[in-house]
Amino acid sequence: MIKLRPLSPDEKIAVAVPTRNRPSYLSILISCILNQTYTNWMLLINDQSDTPVDRDHALRDLFTLAKRTGHDVRIIRTDKGAERHQSAMEAVPEGIELILRIDDDMFPEPVFLENVLKPFRFFQSEPLAAVGGLHPEPGNGPMDLDIALRDPEWIPRFDKPDWRLQGHFYYNAPEILEAESLGGGAILYRRSAVVDTGGWAVPGYSDVAFREESDLCARLYARGYTMMITTEAI
């Protein structure tokens, strides 16, 4: 384990998005990123689509808007597969320490980046390597959260919306919890810690069943790094 350098108050975040044939979802995600209250970020799109994303008119306009508002936008074309995405994340410019790996079907709230950064600011003496947010189950977005809150006794299954599972939905007050592994569709990593554990992808394993996050978190934990979840980052 290496000693992690202190982060600056306005540390730049590289928002790395793998996407494949879902331009509508990607458009919503980029719109959410453009509306973030934390504005020091750049965008890296790992495009695994059959038709390049920059041929979509709405996406092209969003990329242009991001550039005009001072954000670097980079699009990398790769074959499909999680391991290839992790390798593509190495294309993030040198000097950027924080990399947010986020799925293209996530709809983060405007304060997501601000809140997912908080643990790094609160626990500067900790070897904190990764932070995840709260992803209301089932699903990824506020629509599922609204359904669960209206009908807490019966919530839909994420893969079969018409089916119902009996259970209760609990929303905790803001808190930060230490974790041994992180899941979900958005995790903020410290690049130097990832490099110290062997890099983003382990050939022949990291792409198995798209479990690259489990692999990476296991290596971070074994190396002695800390991981946390913040319930404010939704």
| Secondary structure (3-state) at 114 | helix
Q: What percentage of the chain carries pLDDT values higher than 90?
A: 55
Residue 199's pLDDT is 85
Residues 6+ apart with CB under 8 A from 80: 20, 48
Average pLDDT over residues 52-69: 95
Residue 89's pLDDT is 75
- Using pLDDT thresholds of 50, 70 and 90, give the confidence band for residue 144: very low
- Is the predicted pLDDT of residue 167 greater than 80, yes or no? no
Its sign, for the CA torsion 107, 189, 212, 222, is: negative
Identify the weakest region by mean pLDDT among 23-32, 134-143, 154-163.
134-143
Average pLDDT over residues 8-24: 93
Distance CA 17, CA 37 (A): 19
Residues 6+ apart with CB under 8 A from 122: 176
- Is the predicted pLDDT of residue 212 greater than 70, yes or no? no
Residue 136's pLDDT is 54
What is 13-136+171-230's CATH superfamily?
Spore Coat Polysaccharide Biosynthesis Protein SpsA; Chain A (3.90.550.10)
- Per-residue pLDDT tens digits for 62-111: 999 999 999 999 999 888 766 666 766 788 999 999 999 999 989 899 99
- Residue spans per domain, the chain: 13-136+171-230
Q: Which backbone phi and psi does 76 adopt, to 5 degrees? A: -120, 130
The mean pLDDT of the chain is 82
Q: What is the pTM of this model?
A: 0.82
- Using pLDDT thresholds of 50, 70 and 90, give the confidence band for residue 180: confident
Distance CA 232, CA 175 (A): 7
- Using pLDDT thresholds of 50, 70 and 90, give the confidence band for residue 191: very high
